[in-house]
Every structure is written in C-alpha cells, then in structure tokens.
C-alpha cells in the first residue's frame, strides 16, 4: 500500500502545489488522480518516486518511508510511463524495453528475451522489435513505454497522462489494453489524467483534487457519480453522471426480445416480408449484424440486398459479456435507427433486440433492490 500522510509540496516562491494530502492507495488496484490544471495531481504522482521531494508529511510504500531509500534505488522498483512515451530515439524498440533490466544487472541477451516477451504482452507484433521510435505510431510508442515500465516487473506503476497525446480511437484501445494487462498482472497503478471519463473507466478508486492540491473526494467511480460530496465534484464529474453511472450496473436482467433478421443477398421481396414494425437486421453468413433495412430504405431497391442498401446499425450490446452494462444496452437502443439495440453474443452473432424501455425497467428493478441509490 502507498500512503500519503499530511503531505504538502510548497515551492520556493510560496506556491502550494499539494496541501496536506492524506491518501491510501490499495495494492494491486488502479487509483486515478484527476482534477483541473494546477490541482497537484502530477506533483503528487512524482513525489511517490521522489522526482519531486515533499516539503512536509510522509509517503510510505508497504509501511516504509520512501525517504529511507536513495531515489535511484527507489525508482528501480517503480515503473514510470509518461505522455509521448519518452523513449530513447537512438535505441531500437527492443533495446528501449531492455534498458532497465540491463541497468539492474541482467545480461543483455536475457534482457532482450524479456523485452520480446513484453512486446507480445502489450499487444505489439514482434517485427517491430528492430524499429526505432520515430518509425512507430503514437499508440505503438505508448505501448512500448508501458512495456519498458514493466520490464523489471515492478510492483508499482506510475502513469502520468500516458494516453492524452493520441487520437480518441487509439486512446480507447490503449485504455482497454491497460485494463487487460491489469487483470493479468495485478500491479499497483497510480494513474494521472485530466479526463473524468478516463478516470471512471480505468480507476478502481478515483481521487478528485481541487486547485491548490487539496483532496475533494476519494471513492469508487460508482460512488463518485452517484454521490458527489459537493458542487465542485458534481460539476467536475459532469451533468450526465447519471447516464455514466449506468456503466456500473449489470445488464444481466435486461429483456432481449426476438429480432427479425435477413441474410445479405436475400431478395428485396423476402426482406420486405421479414420487416417487423418497419425494420429488420441484415446479417452475414455467420449471423453477425451488418446493418438495418426498413420499408422506407427498401422502397427504391430492387433485386438482391447489397451492403449499399443498408442503414447503419449503431452500437452493439454484447449480452453475454461480464462487462455488459445498462449503459452499453441503453446506448445500443438509443443509437439504433430502429430504436431497438442489437444484442449479440461474445462471437458477434445476433441474439435479439433491446429497447430503452426494457433498460429503464431494469434500472428501476436495480433501484428497488437497493443496487443503486434512488
């Protein structure tokens, strides 16, 4: 466990970046520090590995004051990932990852073997091993940065806005990759971000900091969304926090109704006969959804159904996934042109449809059972 006890950081000009911070960070969990610019989240992170020295108070790891160890020795047991990866431009991907093990005394060949294993772990193809950072995309560089931080198998991993410099699609992929890695490795991760959505998605617990470095609230994401302690936290987590809180409620009880399906390549006449309430889902040979057709969209189509004849289907709800939530179910229903979300199994085949009404009924059931505050 990482403990902050009355930790303050005051600079020579009198600026207080962190003010009497008390915080307990659980082992094997992801703790996210979030807040507006100037709230001291990065300073707090860097005090853990003594890149910034606290003015007063105590920071301990597993009960030992971090000041009892030399900074260089302390940092060898703490992985560190920053924005833009911070890779050595003159070293190959493999040698970047192998840097810390070599510094710790590992043979170069052994360190490289470990680096090759970590390439696979972070989801990168082995053919990238001999490339240089400039030859990689931003997302690939960040994955290499994570692999380098993991190379010495540190129990603690510090991540300072590591995904903020990449585009939204890559950022989402990196977030999913981090969650996958954490489920396998169980590191103690302290993650800094200014993005509340990222904090809620990644954090087992989230610490919201105010400007001036004071802790406003420290709770699970679900509690943070449901019960913000004051107007500052409520405003920071956003006015749509009720919708986002649905992500923490299982969609297990949502009713999945039969949904009419039409194979791609079917005759338009057959498709018209399959419509229910004016809509049907077009599927491929494996019964995976490709899109929708309606009476209106078929009115000018002749012959066989083609991909160009389809209406975009919106998002999908994976009904048999443990990660399936009321939020994903409701989003599928709301984003569907038919007002019916397509429910699929883990293989991507159509199971049926969900409506906003069925999701809201499940939400009401959850409230009645005490699963969510009313």
**Is 268 contained in some domain?**
yes
- The verdict on 138 and 267 lying in the same domain is no
At residue 323, the pLDDT reads 64
Whether 208 and 236 have beta carbons less than 8 Å apart is answered as: yes
What is the C-alpha to C-alpha distance for residues 306 and 264, in angstroms, rounded to an integer?
6
**Is 335 contained in some domain?**
yes
Phi-psi region for residue 246, left (φ > 0), alpha (ψ -120 to 50) or beta?
A: alpha
At residue 333, the pLDDT reads 94
Whether 354 and 343 have beta carbons less than 8 Å apart is answered as: yes
Question: With the C-alpha atoms ordered 75, 80, 86, 90, is the resulting torsion angle positive or negative?
Answer: positive
Q: Which residue carries 């050595």 as its tokens?
A: 88
Would you state the structure tokens that stand for residue 172, as one six-digit string?
Answer: 């989402």
The total number of structural domains that make up the chain: 2
What is the C-alpha to C-alpha distance for residues 163 and 147, in angstroms, rounded to an integer?
14
What is the C-alpha to C-alpha distance for residues 307 and 330, in angstroms, rounded to an integer?
26
- The verdict on 238 and 266 lying in the same domain is no
Structural domain harbouring 243: 2-248
- Considering only the C-alpha atoms of the chain, give the largest distance between any 2 of them, rounded to a whole number of Å: 79
- The verdict on 214 and 305 lying in the same domain is no
- The verdict on 344 and 292 lying in the same domain is yes
What is the C-alpha to C-alpha distance for residues 265 and 261, in angstroms, rounded to an integer?
12
At residue 7, the pLDDT reads 97
At residue 372, the pLDDT reads 61
What is the C-alpha to C-alpha distance for residues 10 and 109, in angstroms, rounded to an integer?
45
Q: How many CB atoms lie within 10 A of CB 287?
A: 16
The domain that holds 132 is classified in CATH as 3.40.50.300
CA-based nearest residue to 166, from 85, 91, 93: 85
Q: What is the pLDDT of residues 1-40, one digit of tens each?
A: 999 999 999 999 989 999 999 999 999 999 999 999 889 9
For residue 231, the surrounding DSSP H or E stretch is: helix 231-237
The domain that holds 362 is classified in CATH as 3.10.580.10
Q: Is 205 helix (H, G, I), strand (E, B) or coil?
A: strand
At residue 374, the pLDDT reads 45
**What's the chain's Rg over C-alpha atoms?**
25
For 195, phi then psi, to 5°, come to: -100, 110
What is the C-alpha to C-alpha distance for residues 270 and 48, in angstroms, rounded to an integer?
66
Q: What is the pLDDT of residues 245-279, one digit of tens each?
A: 888 888 888 999 999 999 999 998 999 999 998 99
* Residue that finishes a domain, picked among 192, 220, 248: 248
* Residue that finishes a domain, picked among 248, 282, 310: 248
Under-70 pLDDT residues of the chain: 321-323, 371-374
- The verdict on 181 and 274 lying in the same domain is no
Contacts of 150 (CB under 8 A, 6+ apart): 79, 118, 121, 122, 157, 181, 185, 187
For 200, phi then psi, to 5°, come to: -70, -35
At residue 240, the pLDDT reads 81
- The verdict on 134 and 196 lying in the same domain is yes
**Is 239 contained in some domain?**
yes
**Is 301 contained in some domain?**
yes
At residue 32, the pLDDT reads 97
Q: How many CB atoms lie within 10 A of CB 227?
A: 12
């Amino acid at each position: 466990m990482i403990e902050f006890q009355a930790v303050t950081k005051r600079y020579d000009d009198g600026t207080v970046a962190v003010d009497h911070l008390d915080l307990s960070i659980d082992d094997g969990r992801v703790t996210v520090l979030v807040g507006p610019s100037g709230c001291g989240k990065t300073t707090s992170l860097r005090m853990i590995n003594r890149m910034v020295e606290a003015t007063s108070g105590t920071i301990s790891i597993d009960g030992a004051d971090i000041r009892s160890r030399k900074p260089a020795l302390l940092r060898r047991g703490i992985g560190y990932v920053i924005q833009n990866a911070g890779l050595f431009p003159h070293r190959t991907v493999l040698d970047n990852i192998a840097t810390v093990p070599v510094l710790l005394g590992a043979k170069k060949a052994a360190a490289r073997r470990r680096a090759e294993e970590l390439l696979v772990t972070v989801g990168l193809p082995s053919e990238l091993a001999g490339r240089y950072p400039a030859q990689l995309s931003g997302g690939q560089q960040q994955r290499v940065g994570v692999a380098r931080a993991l190379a010495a198998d540190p129990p603690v991993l510090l991540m300072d806005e590591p995904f903020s410099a990449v585009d939204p699609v890559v950022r989402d992929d990196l977030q999913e990759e981090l969650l996958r890695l954490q489920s396998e490795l169980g590191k103690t991760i302290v993650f800094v971000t200014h993005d509340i959505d990222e904090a809620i998605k990644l954090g087992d617990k989230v610490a919201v900091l105010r400007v001036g470095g004071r802790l406003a609230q420290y709770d699970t994401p679900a509690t943070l969304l449901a019960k913000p302690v004051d107007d500052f936290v409520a405003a920071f987590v956003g006015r749509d926090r009720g919708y986002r809180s649905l992500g923490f409620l299982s969609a297990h009880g949502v009713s999945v109704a039969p949904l009419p399906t039409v194979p791609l390549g079917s005759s338009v006449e057959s498709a018209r006969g399959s419509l229910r309430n004016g809509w049907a889902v077009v599927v491929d040979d494996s019964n995976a959804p490709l899109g929708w057709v309606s009476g209106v969209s078929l009115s000018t189509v002749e012959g066989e159904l083609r991909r160009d004849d389809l209406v975009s289907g919106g998002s999908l709800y994976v009904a048999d996934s443990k990660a399936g939530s009321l939020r994903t179910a409701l989003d599928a229903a709301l984003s569907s042109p038919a007002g019916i979300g397509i429910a699929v199994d883990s293989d991507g085949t159509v199971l049926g449809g969900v409506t906003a009404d069925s999701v809201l009924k499940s939400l009401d059931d959850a409230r009645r059972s005490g699963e969510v505050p009313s």
